[in-house]
Amino acid sequence: MLLFLAALLAAPTAVVITPVASMHASASEDAGVVSQAIYGANVGVLEKQAGWAKIRTPDDYTGWVTQSSLLARDEPYAAEGVQVESLFANLYREPDVTVHKPLLTLPYEARLEVASTRGERWIQVRLADGAMAWVQSGDVVSTGRKPSSIPEVIAFSKRFLGLPYLWGGTSTFGYDCSGFMQMLCRRRGIAIPRDAGPQARWQGMTAVDRSKLKPGDLLYFGASEDKITHTGMYIGKGEFIHASTHERPVVQIGRLADPHWAKLLVAARRPR
């Protein structure tokens, strides 16, 4: 986080203004997707070329997004505001769901700036481009929420069951395995690296023998510890939750006794 803040101060800043912005390995739609940035994320702009911008996200990840998905800002957007707590939240032009279609549908963790409230049900928000919209208060929480306990995170993780797997995905429109684990750790107040291999090697992790697994431990799968390709969270009783394409491409619960996963488990880590 300190590295990101230093980089952010040294680079022009912008905010993501699309529900999800795919980050590519180079400035082309044909380039592979490496990650995503979601609405309201404040990012550093490292380079621009032909309608593309190379950005650095708050988790210190870099990639190319279309410039149309960003808005330049001198000050961070929604530094103190609310974030989407539901799997998805619809934003409306008025405090009524029956008049017009939503202006935007935003994923979990999207950040918004509060302008005013109307009763207990509605919050008026100022969008990143200055436009106003309304969101139901039940869809958002204050960004100052305290970290969740491991049992709370495990219960929370099951809300995501059945959501689609998406390579490079970091939102409820689709997660990949490491993006899902990163989000669950964020819920615990722990900022882990974006990708599975770096997560397993991160100094904030303690190695755990598979015979001593506890709920909340992170599991890493692959050909070896040097070739990790997948991750999930142990939830107890031999089960783990993960975003996977195995058998069906969704967030799902797997079993360590399944031969497919038993032969691929190469490491277990406990966030400190």
E strands in 5-79 = 13-16, 20-24, 33-38, 42-49, 52-56, 62-66, 70-72
> How far is it, in rounded angstroms, from Cα 15 to Cα 125?
15
CA distance 40 to 207: 35
Is-contact 38 59, C-beta < 8 A? no
Catalytic residue among 100, 185, 230, 246: 230
The DSSP element (H or E) to which 199 belongs, if any, is: helix 196-201
Per annotation, catalytic residue among 24, 177, 185, 260: 177
Nearest to 253 by CA among 239, 236, 237: 239
* Whether 260 is catalytic: no
Whether 242 is a known active-site residue: answer yes
Task: For the chain, give the number of residues.
Answer: 272
Decide if 246 is catalytic: no
Q: Which of 24, 100, 185, 242 is catalytic?
A: 242
Q: Which residues are catalytic?
A: 177, 230, 242
